[in-house]
Amino acid sequence: MKQIKRIKGTQDILPPISQKWQYIEKTLRKVMRCYGYNEIRTPMFEMTELFARGIGQLTDIVSKEMYTFQDRSKKSLTLRPECTAPVIRAYLENNLGEARPVQKLYYISAMFRQENPQAGRLRQFHQFGVECIGPQAPEADTETILLGLDIYQELGLKNFSVKINSVGDVESRVAYKSQLKKFLKPQLNDLCQTCRERYESNPMRILDCKNESCNEILASAPRILDALSENARSHFEKVLSLLDQNGVEYEIDHRLVRGLDYYTFTAYEFIGGGLGAQNALGGGGRYDLLAQEIGSKKPVPSVGFAAGIERLIMAMDKENLFPEMRKNVDVFIATFGGKSQEAGFKLAHELRKNDISVLTELMGRSLKAQMREANRSGARFALILGEDELRNGRAALKDLQKSEQQEVVLGKLATEILKSRQM
RNA sequence: GUGGGCGUAGCUCAGUAGGUAGAGCGCCAGAUUGUGGCUCUGGUGGCCGCGGGUUCAAGUCCCGUCGCUCACCCCA
């Protein structure tokens, strides 16, 4: 019979690698708490319309990357390709804005996009992200950037940078788009195929193009920062000045527009080193228009970012940032002869109730094999329990690190093991 | 969707001009009849991705196919 294999672009996260995930998640939660964020968990799938309207029909995500299917009642559902739209949907649906004017929410969850996998790109991947919902103030924008940086710093990441831009408000964008189109019009035929299509559908995305000849043309293109409205300009300046005041180094990238339609004002990216072709660790910005796109009657200003965990792990591996993974087994109970196996089994049960990590032999192997297993498991101690020991209520407790062995009264085993932990 | 690279033991890989498959690590056992790590000895383990073709003979050559991987596009 044919072996069933995992789906393309998915991963089995096996031990001990899963410990890296736990380490990162623990750090994330710690920093999130410092910034006053609370965790939100939304469903893994949503009505397709949420993403189609929220992210934008013309984006790559919606037009060609979504896992969309019909359920039995013919509703079109989609595995979430990102989590900002679901969070805002949950915010609106549960009237969180009525509860308090500022909601700071974070998530750590799986996302799905049907793309061809490569280094740093999977079909099921994981993001952590924050959404600061309610405030319009530039302080909120800067705070999310500081939060992201704190996470990377807390994890020890050295090789990364911040790029930032402003894509302005609606008014600025209308003005800029026409400037850009006017600039490009005479050179339209020199642009690549996709850029020519975008000229009508979404001219700002042309800035994103990496094609060499497009690059040359775009080098002298008008800059959006010069087209910002008064409001958008002062917002951006405040964001930058707060970054400066807090010692953040950043690079203004005039061509950073980001692929999702919902961004307004600030847009930024965390760029990592050594990640291969996919070097964005995370990206975010302000998205004041999203809530209304998905049905809110009033505007709900929000800012946030999403960042990839797989890419973070790659970057951290590159810099060797994961601490030594401890094997947390306290004792391996090796038994042989008579009733020792059952006695050892029962002893393990008692020790475990004292918060002690215990392994017992489950393969019926020889003492020698059990000792080897004890060593391999990383256990601090091996308890050697034979018939003789059982008779007089004592057993040999061998410290596998020091290679020392002592006799212990079985009743005092728990205290003995717990004592050794403090040393 | 497109292009490059690669599919041989649990893992990493070697396999010379086509001649009946190997190493290191791991795993198991013994040396040590009740004691791990080091060492030594032995052992287990392969539809050589799958299907077809050429040939006396195919892991090796040809065709097809599937999978993995990297890259383009774009993104996390």
Q: Which nucleotide is nearest to A9 (CA to C1')?
A: B68
Q: Which residues pair with A128 in a beta bridge?
A: A108, A307
A223 occurs within a structural domain:
no
- Across A208-222, average pLDDT: 82
Residue ending a domain, choose from A285, A318, A351: A318
Range of the domain at A265: 17-169+229-318
Q: Count of domains in chain A? A: 2
Whether residue A373 is found in the same domain as residue A249: no
CB distance A95 to A109 below 8 Å: no
A184 occurs within a structural domain:
no
Element of type H or E holding A70: strand A67-70
Please count the helices (runs of H) and the strands (runs of E) in chain A. 16, 16
Q: Residues 22-61 of A near strand B (Cβ < 7 Å)?
A: 59-61
A4 occurs within a structural domain:
no
Confidence grade of residue A277 (pLDDT, cut at 50, 70, 90): confident
A385 occurs within a structural domain:
yes
- Across A351-361, average pLDDT: 96
Q: Residues 206-245 of A near strand B (Cβ < 7 Å)?
A: 208-211
Q: How far is the CA of A368 from the C1' of B32 (A)?
A: 10
A66 occurs within a structural domain:
yes
Confidence grade of residue A420 (pLDDT, cut at 50, 70, 90): confident
A343 occurs within a structural domain:
yes
A3 occurs within a structural domain:
no
Residue ending a domain, choose from A318, A352, A379: A318
pLDDT for residue A1: 66
Instruction: Give A177's contacts (C-beta < 8 A, 6+ positions apart).
Output: A203, A204
pLDDT at A207 over 70: yes
Instruction: Give A420's contacts (C-beta < 8 A, 6+ positions apart).
Output: A380, A381, A399
CB A386 under 7 Å to nucleic chain B: yes
For residue A336, the SS3 value is strand
Residue ending a domain, choose from A265, A294, A318: A318
Whether residue A245 is found in the same domain as residue A284: yes
> Over pLDDT 70: what percentage of chain A?
99
Whether residue A43 is found in the same domain as residue A161: yes
Whether residue A130 is found in the same domain as residue A159: yes
Which residue, among A391, A272, A401, A382, has the nearest Cα to A335 in the 3D structure? Answer: A382
A176 occurs within a structural domain:
no
Closest residue to B30 by CA to C1' distance?
A: A368
Element of type H or E holding A266: strand A264-272
Whether residue A101 is found in the same domain as residue A126: yes
Q: Which two tokens stand for residue A251?
A: 């690079």
Whether residue A366 is found in the same domain as residue A247: no
CATH number of the domain within which A355 lies? 3.40.50.800
d(CA A65, CA A114): 5
d(CA A298, CA A307): 28
CB distance A150 to A34 below 8 Å: yes
pLDDT at A260 over 80: no
Whether residue A80 is found in the same domain as residue A49: yes
Confidence grade of residue A210 (pLDDT, cut at 50, 70, 90): confident
CATH number of the domain within which A69 lies? 3.30.930.10
pLDDT digits (tens, 9 = 90+) for A33-80: 999 999 999 999 999 999 999 998 888 899 899 999 999 999 999 999
